[in-house]
Structure 1
C-alpha cells in the first residue's frame, strides 16, 4: 500500500492488521520493529486525515452559520 495515496479506511485496516500481528507475539524482533515503524507512520497518516476532515467540517459549519445569518 502506498501510504501517500491510501485512504483513511485502507490505512486503518492495515494498522489493525499490524496490531494483530504484534499482539500475537509470533514475529521475530526485527520484523516486529519494522511493523511497529509502519504502524507509527500509518497512525500519523490517519491522524492527519482525521484532522483534515475535522477542519473541513468546521469550515462547512461556519459557512452554513454565515448563510443562515444573512437570511434573517
Structure 2
C-alpha cells in the first residue's frame, strides 16, 4: 500500500509577506513585469495584503487582551 502524503502549506509570517509585497511592488514599478504575469502578481499581492491585515488584527486583539489583563491585575493589587 502506498503512503499518502498530505501537502501542508504554511502561510508566510508577516515579515515574509511584507518583503514579498515589496518585491512585487518593485517589479511592477520598474516595469520589469510581462503583461502576462501582471495579473498573477496583482492577485498574489492582494492575498498578501489580506494576510498582513489578518495578522495585524490578530496582534491587536492579543495586545488588547494582555493590556486588559494587566489592568485587572493592577486593580486587584490595589485592593490588597
TM-score by length of 2: 0.82
Kindly provide the CA deviation profile for residues 4-46 of structure 1, in whole angstroms up to 9, marking residues without a partner as x.
4211000000010000001111212120111010000000000
Which is higher, the Rg of structure 1 or of structure 2? 2
TM-score by length of 1: 0.91
Change (3 A) 1:41 1:14: same
Give the 4+ runs in structure 1 shifted more than 2 A.
2-5
Which structure has greater helix proportion?
Answer: 1
Alpha-carbon RMSD: 1.6
Structure 1 residues without counterparts, runs of 5 or longer: none
The residue that corresponds to 2:64 in the other structure is 58
Structure 2 residues without counterparts, runs of 5 or longer: 1-7
The residue that corresponds to 1:41 in the other structure is 47
